[in-house]
Structure 1
């Protein structure tokens, strides 16, 4: 169930050294997760409006392995590793020409309208199995 999301590195993504600023990798994997959820058929805006539920990142463990640079074409590969009643654990890699530049393990949870953790809806859990 790998999901692939392509993006180009723009000048605004880089730092003074001309490499991708470390925090921007988190933005890249966030965009890929949003597209992954959309690809599953989950409308996050409707989920928030209709049920008062939103996804939230609970934990990120990240490894910066090699730098990306201006104008690089990157691919973010997202793979679900574990799904429980309350969380989704994803592996996300940022890749250039087959080389993994950045790797992260991301734990997502669901929050209710009052900001408290809640169980994942059954229909979303089913999409991931």
Structure 2
């Protein structure tokens, strides 16, 4: 499954050198993942009420280029379930079609007490068979 998410760079996103502060890329890819969850019809507040949350357990990131104030970026994400608990994401941030940031992210479902738990059944079905 592939997903696209648009990001516009504001002055507040930049550092003293006038380029996007490195940690903001993590925010951009988080927004894209949140958009995926919403588009799949998953209500994270309802999940939390049922004692289930998503937790990021691993991020591997490569900074390849830079973005500046006024740039318009695209976050492209491919994702799939891995087992009953893990949700894997390969994410790229592009400026004018060129990759400037790349990350591999692992999310797991956990209880609010920190115990691993299964991905919600509806979500598992959608990740295994996107037509469902």
Which TM-score tier does this pair reach, normalised by the shorter chain? Answer: over 0.9
- Which residue does the alignment assign to 1:103? 102
What secondary structure does 1:70 align onto? coil
TM-score, normalised with respect to structure 1: 0.94
Number of residue pairs matched by the alignment: 128
- Please tell me whether the aligned partners of residues 83 and 125 of structure 1 are also in contact (alpha carbons under 8 angstroms): no
What secondary structure does 1:127 align onto? helix
TM-score, normalised with respect to structure 2: 0.92
- The two structures, once aligned, show a CA RMSD in angstroms of 1.1
Cα shift readout 1:36-91 (whole Å, capped 9, x = no counterpart): 11011111111111x11111101000000000111100011111145221101110
Distance 2:127 2:81 in 1: 9
Unaligned runs of 5+ in 1: none
Unaligned runs of 5+ in 2: none
The runs of at least 4 consecutive aligned structure 1 residues that moved more than 6 Å come to none
- Which residue does the alignment assign to 2:59? 60
